[in-house]
Amino acid sequence: MKRTKNALILAVIILLAACTSTKKKEQTISLSGAFALYPLVVKWSEEYQKENPEVRFNISAGGAGKGMADALSGTVDLGMFSREILQAEIDQGVWWVGVTKDAVIPTANAANPVVETLYKRGITREEFRDLYIEGKYSNWNQLAGIKIDLPINVFTRSDACGAAGTWAAYLAGNQEDLRGVGVFGDPGLADAVVKDEKGIGFNNTIYLYDLKTGNKNPGIEVIPIDVNENGKLDAEENFYDSFDRVLAAIAEGKYPSPPARELYLVANGKPAKQATLDFLKWVVTKGQKFVPGAGYVPLTQERLDEQVANLDK
């Protein structure tokens, strides 16, 4: 009799533990993917937990390619994604919600003597293509109007990522077309340029500017884009001195798109977990108030309404 009673108690304990484990799993939201979106998702998770302390988050960066792969395989609830979604990914069943905007910006080492000249003439889209895809230039003095004899060391991303995909799309190519020494991750690429006076690269805005001061991070400088390709950097094209001005230029369409782009949270089909859906609904409604302070551009109200409608289907 005693043995039977003990067995019943043990069964109840196991059942309760299983129920508790299931409940925790249902209240845990896992995300992986784009470095571009990672800081904002962390901020959102912190603010969301203040209102919903029972919800837990597991968040890891690793590149947009990893976010998409993890989402489609069901390894995570949501992938953080930072480039245009391809038809092949749609065919695999990807479902997505647009959550904010930022941009990819070309960079150079701040000590590079050519920077002063670049802020007078800018670099055109075609010149960037010749640098990054065609491989026509290896020295700055090969570009019209630049007399400085200095080699160009090109850096790109080694991981499948939205920043490289978006930058390549601006240059009418794919990430695989980009030349240069491959470096993993947004922080790694910025660091590579900072450590090499001859280096050029590209970064998401949040890794180029200091969020607290609004200034560019030490050791890195913007290569300004000559958008209208008139051979000089006009006043309306020169908005890189502060983070606020860059974000305003993205919002107003003064900075070209691409390399400005929308950022997404993706999943393998519409999420079934209620905790995930509730979080997404919060992100595109109440959570938008945290977007500017985190260093991103809010979506228009019309675009946000479209995301809410997508969630309500």
* Cα separation, 59 vs 34, whole angstroms: 11
Residues 84 and 109 in one domain: no
Among the three residues 204, 229, 252, which one is the final residue of a domain in this structure? 252
- Residue-wise pLDDT tens for the chain (313 aa)? 555 555 444 444 444 333 344 445 579 999 999 999 999 999 999 999 999 999 999 999 999 999 999 999 999 999 999 999 999 999 999 999 999 999 999 999 999 999 999 999 999 999 999 999 999 999 999 999 999 999 999 999 999 999 999 999 999 999 999 999 999 999 999 999 999 999 999 999 999 999 999 999 999 999 999 999 999 999 999 999 999 999 999 999 999 999 999 999 999 999 999 999 999 999 999 999 999 999 999 999 999 999 999 999 8
Residues 157 and 238 in one domain: yes
Length of the chain in residues, anyone? 313
Domain that holds residue 127: 103-252
Contact 124, 118 (CB under 8 A): no
Contact 246, 205 (CB under 8 A): yes
Asked if the structure places residue 300 within a domain, the reply is yes
Bridge partners, 101 (sequence order): 262, 297
Asked if the structure places residue 12 within a domain, the reply is no
Contact 100, 284 (CB under 8 A): no
Residues 171 and 306 in one domain: no
Phi, psi values for residue 276, rounded to 5°:
-65, -45
Residues 60 and 152 in one domain: no
Asked if the structure places residue 4 within a domain, the reply is no
Asked if the structure places residue 237 within a domain, the reply is yes
Residue from 32, 35, 61, 33 nearest 206 by CA: 35
Pairing of strands 94-109, 260-268: antiparallel
* Cα separation, 282 vs 295, whole angstroms: 19
Asked if the structure places residue 240 within a domain, the reply is yes
Residues 80 and 130 in one domain: no
Residues 92 and 108 in one domain: no
Residues 187 and 306 in one domain: no
Whole-prediction pTM value?
0.88
Residues 147 and 219 in one domain: yes
* Cα separation, 163 vs 168, whole angstroms: 8
Asked if the structure places residue 1 within a domain, the reply is no
Among the three residues 233, 252, 271, which one is the final residue of a domain in this structure? 252
Pairing of strands 78-81, 94-109: unpaired
| Ordered DSSP codes for 30-63 | EEEE-TTTHHHHHHHHHHHHHH-TT-EEEEEE--
Contact 218, 186 (CB under 8 A): no
Residues 108 and 74 in one domain: no
Residues 119 and 224 in one domain: yes
Chain Cα centroid distance, residue 65: 11
Residue 87 is part of a domain; what is its CATH number?
Answer: 3.40.190.10
* Cα separation, 300 vs 278, whole angstroms: 21
Asked if the structure places residue 21 within a domain, the reply is no
Residue from 34, 25, 30, 24 nearest 76 by CA: 30
Phi, psi values for residue 4, rounded to 5°:
-65, -40
Asked if the structure places residue 16 within a domain, the reply is no
Residues 285 and 233 in one domain: no
Among the three residues 220, 252, 284, which one is the final residue of a domain in this structure? 252
Q: Quote the number of domains for the chain.
A: 2
